[in-house]
Amino acid sequence: MPWPNGTGLSSKNESSRARIPLTPEEQELCRSGQYSPELSDLTWRIFRIMAEFVEGFQFLSATKREVSIFGSSRFPAGSKWYLEAEKLGRLLGTGKFTVVTGGGPGIMEAANKGAYETGAMSVGLNIQLPKEQRINPYVTHSKAFYYFFTRKVMLAASAQAYVFFPGGYGTMDELFEVLTLIQTQKSERFPLILVGEEYWRPLIRWITDAMLEQEGAIERADLSLFTLVDSAEAAFEIVQRSKERLSF
Protein backbone atom coordinates (compact mmCIF):
# COMPACT_ATOMS: atom_id res chain seq x y z
CA MET A 1 0.00 0.00 0.00
CA PRO A 2 1.32 3.50 -0.78
CA TRP A 3 2.17 5.69 2.14
CA PRO A 4 -0.67 8.17 2.90
CA ASN A 5 1.57 11.21 2.47
CA GLY A 6 1.28 11.49 -1.29
CA THR A 7 4.92 10.71 -1.98
CA GLY A 8 4.20 7.42 -3.70
CA LEU A 9 6.60 5.57 -1.38
CA SER A 10 5.67 1.95 -0.77
CA SER A 11 6.44 -0.32 2.16
CA LYS A 12 6.16 -3.46 0.01
CA ASN A 13 9.38 -5.44 -0.32
CA GLU A 14 10.30 -6.96 -3.67
CA SER A 15 13.36 -9.19 -3.93
CA SER A 16 14.26 -8.06 -0.39
CA ARG A 17 14.43 -4.43 -1.53
CA ALA A 18 11.90 -1.71 -0.78
CA ARG A 19 10.62 -0.19 -4.02
CA ILE A 20 8.55 2.78 -5.16
CA PRO A 21 5.97 2.11 -7.87
CA LEU A 22 6.90 3.74 -11.16
CA THR A 23 4.78 6.69 -12.15
CA PRO A 24 3.00 6.54 -15.55
CA GLU A 25 5.63 8.96 -16.89
CA GLU A 26 8.47 6.72 -15.71
CA GLN A 27 6.79 3.67 -17.20
CA GLU A 28 6.61 5.45 -20.54
CA LEU A 29 10.29 6.43 -20.29
CA CYS A 30 11.16 2.80 -19.53
CA ARG A 31 9.31 1.63 -22.62
CA SER A 32 11.17 4.17 -24.75
CA GLY A 33 14.53 3.14 -23.31
CA GLN A 34 15.15 6.56 -21.70
CA TYR A 35 14.81 5.38 -18.10
CA SER A 36 16.40 2.59 -16.10
CA PRO A 37 14.03 0.47 -13.97
CA GLU A 38 16.76 0.23 -11.35
CA LEU A 39 15.95 3.83 -10.42
CA SER A 40 12.69 2.57 -8.96
CA ASP A 41 14.69 1.28 -6.00
CA LEU A 42 13.72 3.20 -2.90
CA THR A 43 17.24 4.40 -2.09
CA TRP A 44 17.93 5.80 -5.53
CA ARG A 45 14.56 7.51 -5.78
CA ILE A 46 15.11 9.19 -2.40
CA PHE A 47 18.53 10.45 -3.54
CA ARG A 48 16.90 11.86 -6.66
CA ILE A 49 14.28 13.67 -4.56
CA MET A 50 16.95 15.01 -2.21
CA ALA A 51 18.98 16.26 -5.16
CA GLU A 52 15.97 18.18 -6.52
CA PHE A 53 15.49 19.91 -3.17
CA VAL A 54 19.18 20.80 -2.85
CA GLU A 55 19.42 22.12 -6.41
CA GLY A 56 16.14 24.00 -6.06
CA PHE A 57 17.16 25.81 -2.89
CA GLN A 58 20.56 26.63 -4.36
CA PHE A 59 18.87 28.05 -7.45
CA LEU A 60 16.53 30.27 -5.42
CA SER A 61 19.29 31.46 -3.09
CA ALA A 62 20.38 33.86 -5.84
CA THR A 63 17.00 35.62 -5.95
CA LYS A 64 15.41 38.18 -3.65
CA ARG A 65 12.05 39.89 -3.11
CA GLU A 66 10.27 36.99 -4.80
CA VAL A 67 6.55 37.02 -5.57
CA SER A 68 5.06 33.71 -6.69
CA ILE A 69 2.21 33.96 -9.19
CA PHE A 70 -0.21 31.11 -9.88
CA GLY A 71 -3.08 30.61 -12.33
CA SER A 72 -4.36 28.68 -15.31
CA SER A 73 -1.98 27.64 -18.07
CA ARG A 74 -4.89 27.68 -20.53
CA PHE A 75 -5.71 31.38 -20.78
CA PRO A 76 -4.68 32.61 -24.23
CA ALA A 77 -2.66 35.76 -24.85
CA GLY A 78 -4.93 38.80 -24.92
CA SER A 79 -7.60 37.31 -22.63
CA LYS A 80 -8.80 39.26 -19.59
CA TRP A 81 -6.75 37.51 -16.92
CA TYR A 82 -3.71 37.11 -19.14
CA LEU A 83 -3.59 40.88 -19.56
CA GLU A 84 -4.14 41.46 -15.84
CA ALA A 85 -1.33 39.05 -14.91
CA GLU A 86 0.93 40.72 -17.46
CA LYS A 87 0.15 44.08 -15.89
CA LEU A 88 0.98 42.76 -12.43
CA GLY A 89 4.26 41.31 -13.70
CA ARG A 90 5.12 44.72 -15.14
CA LEU A 91 4.27 46.49 -11.87
CA LEU A 92 6.35 44.01 -9.87
CA GLY A 93 9.26 44.29 -12.28
CA THR A 94 9.22 48.08 -12.09
CA GLY A 95 9.10 47.76 -8.29
CA LYS A 96 12.28 45.61 -8.34
CA PHE A 97 10.54 42.41 -7.31
CA THR A 98 11.43 38.99 -8.70
CA VAL A 99 8.51 37.31 -10.46
CA VAL A 100 8.36 33.54 -9.93
CA THR A 101 5.97 31.27 -11.85
CA GLY A 102 5.72 27.67 -12.97
CA GLY A 103 7.34 28.75 -16.23
CA GLY A 104 4.57 27.55 -18.53
CA PRO A 105 1.94 29.26 -20.72
CA GLY A 106 -1.19 31.19 -19.74
CA ILE A 107 -1.04 33.18 -16.51
CA MET A 108 2.56 32.08 -15.95
CA GLU A 109 3.65 33.39 -19.33
CA ALA A 110 1.77 36.64 -18.83
CA ALA A 111 3.39 37.39 -15.46
CA ASN A 112 6.85 36.48 -16.76
CA LYS A 113 6.26 38.65 -19.82
CA GLY A 114 5.39 41.71 -17.76
CA ALA A 115 8.52 41.31 -15.62
CA TYR A 116 10.71 40.52 -18.63
CA GLU A 117 9.71 43.71 -20.41
CA THR A 118 10.91 45.80 -17.46
CA GLY A 119 14.26 44.03 -17.33
CA ALA A 120 13.49 42.45 -13.96
CA MET A 121 14.37 38.91 -12.98
CA SER A 122 11.74 36.57 -14.42
CA VAL A 123 11.92 33.06 -12.96
CA GLY A 124 10.29 29.88 -14.22
CA LEU A 125 10.20 26.66 -12.19
CA ASN A 126 9.21 24.23 -14.89
CA ILE A 127 7.97 20.63 -14.66
CA GLN A 128 9.34 17.80 -16.81
CA LEU A 129 6.56 15.77 -18.44
CA PRO A 130 6.51 13.04 -21.13
CA LYS A 131 4.95 15.58 -23.47
CA GLU A 132 7.18 18.32 -22.17
CA GLN A 133 5.58 21.52 -20.92
CA ARG A 134 7.23 24.29 -22.85
CA ILE A 135 9.07 26.99 -20.96
CA ASN A 136 7.65 30.32 -21.97
CA PRO A 137 9.97 32.72 -23.84
CA TYR A 138 9.86 35.42 -21.13
CA VAL A 139 11.73 33.43 -18.47
CA THR A 140 15.25 34.69 -17.84
CA HIS A 141 16.17 32.20 -15.09
CA SER A 142 14.76 28.67 -15.15
CA LYS A 143 14.99 25.39 -13.27
CA ALA A 144 13.26 22.17 -14.32
CA PHE A 145 11.86 19.68 -11.80
CA TYR A 146 10.85 16.07 -12.25
CA TYR A 147 8.58 15.78 -9.20
CA PHE A 148 5.52 17.97 -8.76
CA PHE A 149 5.89 18.07 -4.98
CA THR A 150 9.49 19.35 -5.03
CA ARG A 151 8.48 22.04 -7.53
CA LYS A 152 5.54 23.09 -5.32
CA VAL A 153 7.86 23.46 -2.34
CA MET A 154 10.12 25.74 -4.38
CA LEU A 155 7.21 27.89 -5.54
CA ALA A 156 6.21 28.44 -1.92
CA ALA A 157 9.58 28.38 -0.16
CA SER A 158 11.00 31.84 -0.78
CA ALA A 159 8.05 34.05 -1.74
CA GLN A 160 7.24 37.13 0.28
CA ALA A 161 3.78 37.18 -1.31
CA TYR A 162 1.56 34.74 -3.20
CA VAL A 163 -0.82 35.85 -5.95
CA PHE A 164 -3.49 33.53 -7.34
CA PHE A 165 -5.30 34.30 -10.56
CA PRO A 166 -8.24 32.17 -11.73
CA GLY A 167 -7.24 28.61 -12.51
CA GLY A 168 -8.17 24.95 -12.38
CA TYR A 169 -7.36 21.96 -10.20
CA GLY A 170 -3.63 22.68 -10.14
CA THR A 171 -4.19 26.25 -9.01
CA MET A 172 -6.60 25.07 -6.28
CA ASP A 173 -4.08 22.50 -5.12
CA GLU A 174 -1.40 25.14 -4.80
CA LEU A 175 -3.77 27.61 -3.12
CA PHE A 176 -4.92 25.26 -0.39
CA GLU A 177 -1.41 23.93 0.20
CA VAL A 178 -0.09 27.44 0.87
CA LEU A 179 -3.16 28.24 3.01
CA THR A 180 -2.60 25.08 5.05
CA LEU A 181 1.08 25.87 5.62
CA ILE A 182 0.20 29.36 6.88
CA GLN A 183 -2.78 28.17 8.94
CA THR A 184 -0.73 25.50 10.70
CA GLN A 185 2.18 27.92 11.21
CA LYS A 186 4.54 25.72 9.21
CA SER A 187 5.20 28.82 7.13
CA GLU A 188 5.51 32.45 8.07
CA ARG A 189 2.43 34.49 7.34
CA PHE A 190 2.88 36.37 4.09
CA PRO A 191 0.20 38.00 1.92
CA LEU A 192 -1.92 35.54 -0.03
CA ILE A 193 -3.87 37.43 -2.67
CA LEU A 194 -6.74 36.20 -4.83
CA VAL A 195 -7.23 38.25 -8.00
CA GLY A 196 -10.69 38.20 -9.58
CA GLU A 197 -13.73 38.83 -7.41
CA GLU A 198 -16.23 37.24 -9.79
CA TYR A 199 -14.18 34.04 -10.00
CA TRP A 200 -13.19 33.62 -6.35
CA ARG A 201 -16.33 34.93 -4.61
CA PRO A 202 -18.33 31.66 -4.94
CA LEU A 203 -15.46 29.69 -3.40
CA ILE A 204 -15.15 32.18 -0.53
CA ARG A 205 -18.92 31.99 -0.01
CA TRP A 206 -18.68 28.19 0.24
CA ILE A 207 -15.77 28.43 2.67
CA THR A 208 -17.82 30.82 4.81
CA ASP A 209 -21.19 29.08 4.54
CA ALA A 210 -20.04 25.46 4.65
CA MET A 211 -16.59 25.16 6.20
CA LEU A 212 -16.96 27.88 8.83
CA GLU A 213 -20.46 26.73 9.78
CA GLN A 214 -19.25 23.14 10.19
CA GLU A 215 -17.96 22.92 13.74
CA GLY A 216 -14.40 21.71 13.81
CA ALA A 217 -13.55 22.54 10.19
CA ILE A 218 -12.02 26.04 10.27
CA GLU A 219 -12.08 29.04 12.57
CA ARG A 220 -13.25 32.55 11.73
CA ALA A 221 -9.66 33.80 11.97
CA ASP A 222 -8.76 31.53 9.04
CA LEU A 223 -10.83 33.76 6.75
CA SER A 224 -8.24 36.49 7.25
CA LEU A 225 -5.43 34.40 5.76
CA PHE A 226 -6.22 35.60 2.23
CA THR A 227 -7.28 38.87 0.59
CA LEU A 228 -9.59 39.21 -2.40
CA VAL A 229 -8.91 41.95 -4.94
CA ASP A 230 -10.08 42.62 -8.48
CA SER A 231 -7.09 44.21 -10.20
CA ALA A 232 -3.34 44.02 -10.65
CA GLU A 233 -2.99 47.46 -9.08
CA ALA A 234 -4.77 46.38 -5.88
CA ALA A 235 -2.63 43.24 -5.66
CA PHE A 236 0.54 45.26 -6.16
CA GLU A 237 -0.37 47.66 -3.34
CA ILE A 238 -0.53 44.71 -0.94
CA VAL A 239 2.74 43.23 -2.19
CA GLN A 240 4.48 46.57 -1.74
CA ARG A 241 3.62 46.49 1.97
CA SER A 242 4.91 42.95 2.45
CA LYS A 243 8.18 42.21 4.21
CA GLU A 244 11.07 40.55 2.43
CA ARG A 245 11.57 36.95 3.32
CA LEU A 246 14.83 35.91 4.93
CA SER A 247 17.34 34.33 2.57
CA PHE A 248 18.09 30.61 2.75
14 located within any domain: no
- DSSP annotation of 4: T
pLDDT of residue 248: 52
* Percent of the chain residues topping a pLDDT of 70: 82
* Percent of the chain residues topping a pLDDT of 90: 71
pLDDT of residue 19: 53
20 located within any domain: no
72 located within any domain: yes
103 located within any domain: yes
Instruction: Give the count of domains, the chain.
Output: 1
Phi and psi, residue 16, nearest 5°:
65, 15
CATH number (domain holding residue 78): 3.40.50.450
* Boundaries of domain holding 155: 64-240
pLDDT of residue 34: 61
Task: Judge whether 126 and 133 are in contact, CB under 8 Å.
Answer: yes
30 located within any domain: no
15 located within any domain: no
Look up the pTM and report it: 0.83
152 located within any domain: yes
Tell me the pLDDT tens digit for each residue of 30-78: 777 666 655 556 677 788 899 999 999 999 999 999 999 999 999 999 9
- Report the range of poorest mean pLDDT among 41-55, 87-101, 102-116: 41-55
pLDDT of residue 25: 65
The CA distance from 136 to 13, in Å, is 42
51 located within any domain: no
Residue 69's nearest CA partner among 212, 220, 174 is 174
Tell me the pLDDT tens digit for each residue of 199-222: 999 999 999 999 999 999 999 999
